[in-house]
Amino acid sequence: MSTSTAISILQCGKTYPNGTRALETVDLEVVSGETLVLLGPSGCGKTSLLRMIAGLESPDAGGRILFGSEDVTAQPPETRNVGMVFQSYALFPNMTVAQNVGYGLRIRRLPEERRRARVAEMLEMVQLSALSARRIDQLSGGQRQRVALARAIAVTPRVLLLDEPLTALDAKLRESLRVDIDTLLRKAGITAIYVTHDQAEAMALGDRIVVMDHGEIVQIGSPTQIYHAPANAFVADFVGSVNRLQGNVQDGVWRCGNAALPWPADAPVGGVVMVRPEDLRLGHEAAGAISGTLTARYFLGNRTRLLVDIGQGAPVLVDTSERGEFALASQVHLRIDPATMIVLPA
Amino acid sequence: MSTSTAISILQCGKTYPNGTRALETVDLEVVSGETLVLLGPSGCGKTSLLRMIAGLESPDAGGRILFGSEDVTAQPPETRNVGMVFQSYALFPNMTVAQNVGYGLRIRRLPEERRRARVAEMLEMVQLSALSARRIDQLSGGQRQRVALARAIAVTPRVLLLDEPLTALDAKLRESLRVDIDTLLRKAGITAIYVTHDQAEAMALGDRIVVMDHGEIVQIGSPTQIYHAPANAFVADFVGSVNRLQGNVQDGVWRCGNAALPWPADAPVGGVVMVRPEDLRLGHEAAGAISGTLTARYFLGNRTRLLVDIGQGAPVLVDTSERGEFALASQVHLRIDPATMIVLPA
Amino acid sequence: MSMDGRKHTLLLGALMAPAAAFFLAFWLLPMARLVGVGASGPQGMGAYWSVLTNQNYLTSLIYTFVLSALVTLATLVISCIAGLFLERNRFPGRSLLLAVLTFPLAFPGVVVGFLIILLCGRQGLIGDLTKWLTGEKLVLAYSLSGLFLGYLYFSIPRVILTVMAAAEKLDYALVEAARTLGASPLQIVRDVTLPALGPALVSSGAICFATSVGAFGTAFTLATNITVLPMLIYNEFTNYANIPVAAALSVVLGVVTWAVLALARSVAGNTVTVAA
Amino acid sequence: MSMDGRKHTLLLGALMAPAAAFFLAFWLLPMARLVGVGASGPQGMGAYWSVLTNQNYLTSLIYTFVLSALVTLATLVISCIAGLFLERNRFPGRSLLLAVLTFPLAFPGVVVGFLIILLCGRQGLIGDLTKWLTGEKLVLAYSLSGLFLGYLYFSIPRVILTVMAAAEKLDYALVEAARTLGASPLQIVRDVTLPALGPALVSSGAICFATSVGAFGTAFTLATNITVLPMLIYNEFTNYANIPVAAALSVVLGVVTWAVLALARSVAGNTVTVAA
């Protein structure tokens, strides 16, 4: 349907007039047709990077942005032909749903009839055909979000840019729209760059995830790479919960409590061992396990989160899907599958 | 510390002047010292019920509200001695943090010195001692939430009422404040009624949960009862995801695909079988399992959600913590532990 | 509001009711009497009729309303450009410029008239300048142009501030969205900025019109050769003691102004008369 | 705003710069000249001095400012009670009552003076009423009381509307929070309502003061035995051609009014002069 474009970001940094460094100098290649997620806490530079691609901000001198082989660095947003979805939706309150969706086509002086057809097609795509004559303030949050998406896609942009499009919605709606957006992007085959601070959103949507922190790119990888093999402690913490376990390495064996696991050959000397809460299994005997006392439990429906004190300061978090009583103050024995151990440089 | 009070709601309903029925006539007993959560979608009557207990709304004629053995139905909120935490926090913008927390004590003409001590104690409890002289607009959302909590508890209320206190905060903060509130309520031993539409919050915080829908109480029970033994399909759907499976019952055996499970003796005739996504296990062979085709997968970090088409219309949701490739269009075999089967009247 | 709260304030209202009724009577009585007086002359209701048929009165009515409409239009155009520019840009001296622009707000109409005489009266600055340039002295102060300038002088600051307040509330993401969709700066002004400023422009325009129609001090000080409506009312009342006509003229003025304000309020919402 | 956006509007600014400079010159020149004229009489700077020492001038200054301050105070109290009541309660006839209360907004000062004469002048309603009741005719119109009533007449509607707009924005949860903490209705007014209305009251009070100080039409129509400042300026200028003193008085009036508006703005934020 739409012609998707690869994007190259070359040596782009961003310093504001007051001296704030929003983005260190970075390089990034976006593959044609993929959904790339920029993930990080607020202030990490992800939005600056997105706005640079839109042309709403310009990179510091020396930075270049290519759409395919065309250098667009000097082009204003008006001529870049990007579609952008804003966190606040930024729908025009003085126009109807159909007028919003057709605005980019009107600016492009598309003949009335073709415009009408394209708007109808877009509204059908986001399942809002029935609401085309509505005013924006008559729509729910989720409907506004879909109108914003339709408006951005209607002009067949070279790249679709999404700036935290789901942040303003509540949890249940966010989850269902996440699936809708994913389906839509895959059907359209459009290159999309998606900014979010929500790791669940990033993992559900991204072909690749770019984790950012303090204006720098920390790791680029598939969702499973990011989650199971984080590049550093920041990434491990940011994408899900993680336990730091203190142990001793001797003769290629890592020991913590009664547990003894083979130390990976490629692990850094003095490396820190981390295990995710769902990778700790409850066992029945102390032999070969890390033992501790259950200090708190939270039933979360599909799992129960246990807090276990193993005498290492912060309690160890354990997620289990077992149904049990989990009596407080009882002894608990934790086993680790060696394959789930994450070892990071100290 | 505080004297906790039992609360009885007797035959209370609420009809607005325009005829809207916000709450059907209900009875409810709140045990002294427990945390009771009112859970339901917006418009289910949970907030009306809470505001009635606060005295901000009065029940229809015939309804009575008792605090312990004292009938407070006719008392205005000023004299009920309840603590209330509002969704918008409702902090006084013209007062500092300390003045907000001490407001109820000033109204009660507590001597300056005792007031100061109590405010200091409250601020320490919510870990905001350092910010006591701050203006409200200098606080983050999470800090405001804690000030609102301290202000409500400062007057040693007979019951603490919380109206969606975490809804305005983002996901990560919500999770950590949930734990803080839980700790606080347990330490204070105070009777608390907590209104929310978020099932995760309800399960993490509630000693008991009251599920409401369309102005009626649908089920009252512990978090595990609500989740594992929902009273009806609405509750099953509202607290977590659930699959409806179509099968046949013959000779006390329920069959669906190649799976055959014993039909519970107490199950209603023509009952609907439901299974939660995390209770479907992936198997390797078709014998004894429900087979289908994998149509989509979403990696969510601690689990992967699979959509499996078993030829029954809507795809079956499966949550697995296994790490695997999960190739799309591959054959998948699902097994059900009979203990996890939920059978509800059709 | 809760039922208890409503009960409470209604009680308060009941206690205040006698005071309120008394107050309201004195509020309404003079206005009712004004309408009555207009019909009490030798011609009866004829005073109202004469206001619309007598050449002098009609001319004054038309001059006043047309002049006020033109002032409103000019004020809106100038203030919109200046207000948008001032809101969008931060530069050294901006606060000073703003203070200077809004200084006329502190002057009553009499002083504004005085200022106009200093600017373009017989000994005015423009007179001196034009005499030096062309040999002819240009004297605008006592004509329609002088009044026009005077009205601009006190209208522009208010409207600039209103435009700035409205522009500050404009969601800048709307402008960015329009840009990414390909809109040019002029298209953005047409499709985003002006619609967003609409209510503020309608309401401040209505107030500008009402103020201009009612301006007395400026016109009186300038002693212009055009008799605007408030001057006419004053003259009929004080100099000719023609009270029925003065009342009829007042009623016409009041009705027209009220209609403009009400119309603006129905278009732009409740803020209109607040800012009046 | 993005860099590109800023670049764009700055360019627009540069193109407009000559027009803006020209405009600004004509904006500033008369005001500068006004200050100059005040010091140009036979006494030089003495005109300013005489304004503060001459018994007549000083009396007028004090009367004007004290009267305006009293009007402001009375307006705030009445409007606050009425505005809060009207915002909190919905009852049949409420819209009509609101329309009636705000009707004086459509009248210029001259007509308000006229209304006051109809109410409490020699042939006024109050005169008739008091004569019937006590045998003595009470005539307030031409005294300080008449002016006071006239100023109230046009101040109250504006402030009521401002109070209502502010009260509408008050988060009602604040009132409910105070109630659950045990606060009585009066304590809620003191601790929640008044602080929330504060900025609106300060700003509309300042505007009320400025309008009262500058009111000319009402005072002139009433031809009161007290000469308020704008009348004094008019008389000095037109009748005695005492131009330096008229200028000096204008400057004093402008500076005081400007200071009050600026003070209110610094307390209540930028809305003050917008609503002026």
When computed from its CA atoms, the radius of gyration of chain A, rounded to whole angstroms, is 24
Of all helices (H) and strands (E), which one includes residue C273?
Answer: helix C271-274
* Residue C195 with chain A: CB contacts under 8 Å: 92-94
* Residue B91 with chain D: CB contacts under 8 Å: 177
Helix, strand, coil percentages for chain D (3-state, nearest 5): 80, 0, 20
Contact D111/C253, CB-based, under 8 Å?
A: yes
Residue B20 burial by Cβ neighbours in a 10 Å radius (0-12, 13-18, 19+):
exposed
Q: Return the bridge partners of C64, or none.
A: none
Q: Which pLDDT value is given to residue A1?
A: 41
Chain A / chain D CB contacts < 8 angstroms: 10
Q: Which pLDDT value is given to residue A291?
A: 92
Chain B / chain C CB contacts < 8 angstroms: 11
The answer to whether D187 contacts chain B (CB < 8 Å) is yes
Mean pLDDT, residues D219-224: 78
Q: Which two tokens stand for residue A79?
A: 């001529």
Q: Which pLDDT value is given to residue D274?
A: 44
Helix, strand, coil percentages for chain C (3-state, nearest 5): 80, 0, 20
Contact D116/C30, CB-based, under 8 Å?
A: yes
Residue B140 burial by Cβ neighbours in a 10 Å radius (0-12, 13-18, 19+):
exposed
Interface residue of C179, C180, C184, C267 to substitute, partner A, most A CBs within 10 Å: C180
Q: Give me the residue from D171, D182, D187 closest to B88, CB to CB.
A: D171
- How would residue C275 be classed by pLDDT, with cut points 50, 70 and 90? very low
> Collapsing DSSP states into helix, strand and coil, what is residue A212?
strand
* Residue D2 with chain A: CB contacts under 8 Å: 51, 56-57
The answer to whether A165 contacts chain C (CB < 8 Å) is no
Contact D9/C175, CB-based, under 8 Å?
A: no
Q: Which residue in B27, B78, B61 sits closest to B210, CA to CA?
A: B27
* Residue D183 with chain B: CB contacts under 8 Å: 78, 103, 107
Subunits close to D (at least 3 CB pairs below 8 A): A, B, C
Q: Which pLDDT value is given to residue C272?
A: 45
Contact A77/D3, CB-based, under 8 Å?
A: no
Statement: residue D9 has pLDDT above 80: no
The answer to whether D4 contacts chain A (CB < 8 Å) is yes
CB within 8 Å of C25: residues ≥ 6 apart: none
Residue ranges for chain B with pLDDT beneath 50:
1-2
Cα D250 from Cα D259, distance rounded (Å): 14
Q: Give me the residue from A86, A94, A108 closest to C182, CB to CB.
A: A108
Q: Return the bridge partners of A298, or none.
A: A305
Q: Contact, B215 vs B223, CB < 8 A? A: no
Q: Name which of A90-104, C34-48, D233-247 the model is least confident about.
A: C34-48
The answer to whether C1 contacts chain B (CB < 8 Å) is no
Q: Which pLDDT value is given to residue A2?
A: 47
Residue with token string 């107030």: C207
User: Considering only alpha carbons, which residue of chain B is nearest residue A239?
Assistant: B301
pLDDT digit string, tens, across residues D53-74: 888 888 888 888 999 999 999 9
Q: Which two tokens stand for residue C42?
A: 């030798």
User: Considering only alpha carbons, which residue of chain B is nearest residue D179?
Assistant: B78
DSSP string across B88-109: T----TTSBHHHHHHHHHHHTT
Q: Which pLDDT value is given to residue D101?
A: 80
Q: Which residue in B185, B189, B95 sits closest to B149, CA to CA?
A: B185
* Cα of B22 vs its chain's centroid, Å: 19
Cα A272 from Cα A233, distance rounded (Å): 9
Report the complex ipTM: 0.80
* Residue D172 with chain C: CB contacts under 8 Å: 1
* Residue C74 with chain D: CB contacts under 8 Å: none
The answer to whether A79 contacts chain D (CB < 8 Å) is no
The answer to whether B57 contacts chain C (CB < 8 Å) is yes
Angle at B152 between CA B147 and CA B153, to 5 degrees: 100
Statement: residue D195 has pLDDT above 70: yes
Q: Contact, A161 vs A112, CB < 8 A? A: no
User: Considering only alpha carbons, which residue of chain C is nearest residue B51?
Assistant: C2
Share of chain A above pLDDT 90, in %: 57
The answer to whether C4 contacts chain B (CB < 8 Å) is yes
Between D35 and A62, whose confidence is greater?
Answer: A62
* Residue C2 with chain B: CB contacts under 8 Å: 51, 56-57
Contact C181/A155, CB-based, under 8 Å?
A: yes
Mean pLDDT of all residues belonging to chain A: 90
* Residue C6 with chain B: CB contacts under 8 Å: none
Longest dimension (CA), chain B: 77
Cα-based distances in Å from C10 to A273, C3, C17, D54, D79: 68, 10, 10, 54, 18
Q: Give me the residue from B182, B198, B278 closest to A302, CB to CB.
A: B278
Contact D181/B93, CB-based, under 8 Å?
A: no
Q: Which residue in B252, B327, B245, B226 sits closest to B289, CA to CA?
A: B245
pLDDT digit string, tens, across residues B128-173: 999 999 999 999 888 999 999 999 999 989 999 999 988 877 777 7
Cα B237 from Cα A174, distance rounded (Å): 17
Cα D6 from Cα B204, distance rounded (Å): 50
CB within 8 Å of C12: residues ≥ 6 apart: D85
Q: What is the dihedral of CA A140, A141, A145, A146, to 10 degrees?
A: -30
DSSP string across D125-160: HHHHHHHHHHSSPP--TTSHHHHHHHHHHHHHHHHH
Q: Name which of B76-80, D208-212, D268-272 the model is least confident about.
A: D268-272
Q: What is the dihedral of CA A262, A265, A271, A275, to 10 degrees?
A: -50
- How would residue D11 be classed by pLDDT, with cut points 50, 70 and 90? low
Q: Contact, A101 vs A154, CB < 8 A? A: yes
* Residue B276 with chain A: CB contacts under 8 Å: 302
Q: Which pLDDT value is given to residue C73?
A: 93
- Minimum distance, in Å, between the CA of residue C1 and any CA atom of chain B: 9
Contact D182/B93, CB-based, under 8 Å?
A: no
Q: Give me the residue from C103, C172, C234 closest to D221, CB to CB.
A: C234
pLDDT digit string, tens, across residues A247-298: 888 888 999 888 888 898 888 888 899 999 999 998 888 888 899 999 988 8
Q: Contact, A196 vs A204, CB < 8 A? A: no
Interface residue of D60, D216, D255 to substitute, partner C, most C CBs within 10 Å: D216
The answer to whether C176 contacts chain A (CB < 8 Å) is yes
Q: Give me the residue from A167, A239, A299 closest to B224, CB to CB.
A: A299
Contact D4/A51, CB-based, under 8 Å?
A: no
The answer to whether A74 contacts chain D (CB < 8 Å) is no
Q: Which pLDDT value is given to residue A269?
A: 82
Q: Which two tokens stand for residue C255?
A: 């009705």
Q: Contact, C217 vs C110, CB < 8 A? A: yes
Statement: residue C135 has pLDDT above 90: no
The answer to whether D3 contacts chain A (CB < 8 Å) is yes
Q: Give me the residue from C5, C88, C234 closest to D110, CB to CB.
A: C234
Q: Which pLDDT value is given to residue D10?
A: 56
Cα B20 from Cα A281, distance rounded (Å): 52
> Collapsing DSSP states into helix, strand and coil, what is residue A243?
strand
Between C106 and A11, whose confidence is greater?
Answer: A11
Contact D85/C274, CB-based, under 8 Å?
A: no
Q: Which pLDDT value is given to residue D3?
A: 43
Contact B77/C3, CB-based, under 8 Å?
A: no
Share of chain C above pLDDT 70, in %: 89
Q: Name which of A313-327, B26-40, B57-71, C114-128 the model is least confident about.
A: C114-128
DSSP string across A39-53: E--TTSSHHHHHHHH
Instruction: Label residue C185 left, alpha or beta by phi (over 0 means left) and psi (-120 to 50 means alpha).
Output: alpha
Cα A151 from Cα A246, distance rounded (Å): 52
pLDDT digit string, tens, across residues B240-259: 889 999 988 888 899 988 88
The answer to whether A238 contacts chain B (CB < 8 Å) is no
The answer to whether D1 contacts chain A (CB < 8 Å) is no
Cα B111 from Cα D27, distance rounded (Å): 60
Contact A204/B299, CB-based, under 8 Å?
A: yes
- Minimum distance, in Å, between the CA of residue A61 and any CA atom of chain B: 36
DSSP letter (8 states) at residue B131: G
Cα D148 from Cα D142, distance rounded (Å): 10
Contact A76/D4, CB-based, under 8 Å?
A: yes
Q: Contact, C109 vs C216, CB < 8 A? A: yes
Q: Give me the residue from B78, B90, B95 closest to D171, CB to CB.
A: B90
Q: Which pLDDT value is given to residue B219?
A: 95
Q: Which two tokens stand for residue D271?
A: 């809305």
Cα A18 from Cα A30, distance rounded (Å): 30
Cα C224 from Cα C234, distance rounded (Å): 14
Long-range contacts of B47-51 (CB under 8 A, 24+ apart): B47/B163, B47/B164, B47/B195, B48/B14, B48/B22, B48/B23, B49/B9, B49/B12, B49/B14, B49/B23, B49/B212, B50/B161, B50/B163, B50/B193, B50/B195, B51/B163, B51/C2
Q: Which domains does chain D have, with CATH numbers?
A: 1-38 (no CATH), 50-268 (1.10.3720.10)
> Collapsing DSSP states into helix, strand and coil, what is residue B281?
strand
CB within 8 Å of B38: residues ≥ 6 apart: B46, B49, B50, B193, B194, B195, B196, B210, B212
Residue with token string 């500058």: D214
Q: Give me the residue from C178, C180, C192 closest to A82, CB to CB.
A: C180
Subunits close to C (at least 3 CB pairs below 8 A): A, B, D
* C228 half-sphere exposure, CB direction, 13 A CA radius: 29
* Cα torsion C257, C259, C263, C265: sign: positive
